[in-house]
Structure 1
Amino acid sequence: MLLAIDAGNTNIVFALVGEGLEIRARWRIATDPRRTADEYAVWLVQLLQLEGFTREAVTGVIIGTVVPRALHNLQVLASKYFGVTALVAGQAPAVYGIELDVVEPSTVGADRALNVIAAHRTHPGDLIVIDFGTATTYDVVDYGGAYKGGIIAPGINLSLDALVSAAAKLPRLAIEPPRDASVIGRTTEDQMHVGIFWGYVAMMEGLVARLKTEIGRPVKVIATGGLATLFDKRTDIFDAIEPDLTIQGLALLHQRTTG
């Protein structure tokens, strides 16, 4: 089986992927570039065993990361504890194989390129891929599978953290939908919920509308990331939710590279 590793700014997701590209298990740990390969192994091998797998079940490893400092220890994890040389998304031989039609292709994050690969495979036509992570990214993919550019906005948790840290009397809240559709908050906490949640929905709807107008053709909107389901029932902009898009992109890239 393939061990696909998606190292993001906030969390690293490890997923076991079968030959049919089905995800057999997944685990998440906070991103810490100082964490050693040995520390990863102690945690990961135990989780494998709890799910009924052994280290020997892992026959390949692929890593996608937007945190360069985390890469070395993940590569050591693959070689020392699984006996394989990890492929790294975007580096030879695991080049993306898609057109990055932007001014600086080398600056496109691995997660965004992987999302494009996976989304284009499943959904034909022009796409907008929204990924809810530390940042919320909007990626435009044309009908041929080329990445055309997009938008980077602060993630909703980042926005809330900035608000709370800058305003001493505002309380820290959980990110959740307001109790009703009213946008007139009657308490400080209600007003914060309205501003953060409905303000974020309004931003998404406004940006998607502008993107669709600029693209000028029918577009399907695909959402991924842990918070996608939070907004799904409060807006009609999403055509599909694909929670494991980045992992699917890693698995597809590994399959293409290794044949």
Structure 2
Amino acid sequence: MRLLLDLGNTRLKWALREGAGWHAQGAVGWNEDVVLALHDVWRHLPVPSDVFGASVVDAGREAQVAAVVSACFGHDTEWLRTPAEACGVRNAYPEPGRLGVDRFLAMVAAHADDPVSCVLAGVGTALTLDALTADGRHLGGLIAPGPQLMQQSLLGATSRVQVERPGQVLEAADNTPDAVASGCWQAAAALIERFVSHMSSPLGGAPLLILGGGDAEALLPLLTPPARLSSDSVLRGLAVWSDAHSPLAPAL
């Protein structure tokens, strides 16, 4: 068994992998007592053979999680830092480590699942977009605020834009809460559609659109191009990567 860790901006997701599937999995938000929550759940798990992590958070939180891993299982955590190339995916960044490891692993997961030209949209705190060719070449991407962060930024930077309730997403709103929600969510959808349109030619035709992240399901109905939801893409990509770097690991 192998413990896989995905330290995202909003929460930590983990999975205990056995063979080609999950023996157990869970998540804990950074607004919770992470140490206590992980101790509570991990003390009931079998001891993994090794532990791999992917992180987009600060070194302090990485160290905090690694200490819990050590206390519960007696293992060090091997943190993956974004490489120039791995598992058939070639990073477009001239400084490979500047690309978020979550974005790289999402591409690894997509390429392992189905090696076709695709656009990957991560819809969470940030909205990330990446174009990937069928032969695993990363063509680059974009980063913008996610729809919820857009709303928070707008409300925090203005004095007269105030909302007293969560808004609904409409084509045209006649009140401020709905106007804010509609503008931010439609802006996210429009950016995704524009990126897909502009990258279609470099990708050799209409690419497969893959949505991941905590707000992917909510954004899906707003998109015109057909799209596929992808869950646990960072953990699945980390599973592929850890298999490739451990001769004792089972093949996917």
Task: Tell me the TM-score range normalised by the shorter chain.
Answer: 0.7 to 0.9
- Does 2:17 correspond to 1:20? no
Consecutive unaligned residues of structure 2, counting only runs of 5 or more, are 248-252
With over 3 angstroms needed to count, the CA separation of the structure-2 counterparts of 1:216 and 1:175, relative to structure 1, is farther
Give the equivalent residue in structure 2 for 1:240: 228
Tell me how far apart the structure 1 counterparts of residues 184 and 91 of structure 2 sit (CA, whole Å): 33
- Does 2:250 correspond to 1:256? no
With over 3 angstroms needed to count, the CA separation of the structure-2 counterparts of 1:176 and 1:250, relative to structure 1, is farther
- Does 2:93 correspond to 1:105? no
Counterpart mapping for 1:70-149 below 5 A: 70-90=61-81, 96-97=86-87, 98-149=89-140
Contact 1:113–1:147 (CA under 8 A) maintained in structure 2: no
Identity, in percent, stands at 23
Give the equivalent residue in structure 2 for 1:152: 143
CA deviation vs aligned residue, 1:107-159 (integer Å, no higher than 9, x gap): 11110111111010112211111111221111111111232211111111211
With over 3 angstroms needed to count, the CA separation of the structure-2 counterparts of 1:187 and 1:128, relative to structure 1, is same
Contact 1:96–1:113 (CA under 8 A) maintained in structure 2: no
CA deviation vs aligned residue, 1:235-254 (integer Å, no higher than 9, x gap): 23243110211111111112
Name the amino acid aligned to 1:193: A
- Does 2:55 correspond to 1:61? no
Q: CA deviation at 1:197?
A: 2.2
Q: Secondary structure at the match of 2:21?
A: coil
- Normalised by the length of structure 2, the TM-score is 0.85
Name the amino acid aligned to 1:187: N
Q: CA deviation at 1:41?
A: 4.4
CA deviation vs aligned residue, 1:161-212 (integer Å, no higher than 9, x gap): 110011223335776652xx5x331122222232122232222222221222
Give the equivalent residue in structure 1 for 2:172: 184
Tell me how far apart the structure 1 counterparts of residues 173 and 46 of structure 2 sit (CA, whole Å): 56
Aligned-residue Cα RMSD (Å) equals: 2.5
Contact 2:6–2:12 (CA under 8 A) maintained in structure 1: yes
Consecutive unaligned residues of structure 1, counting only runs of 5 or more, are 33-38
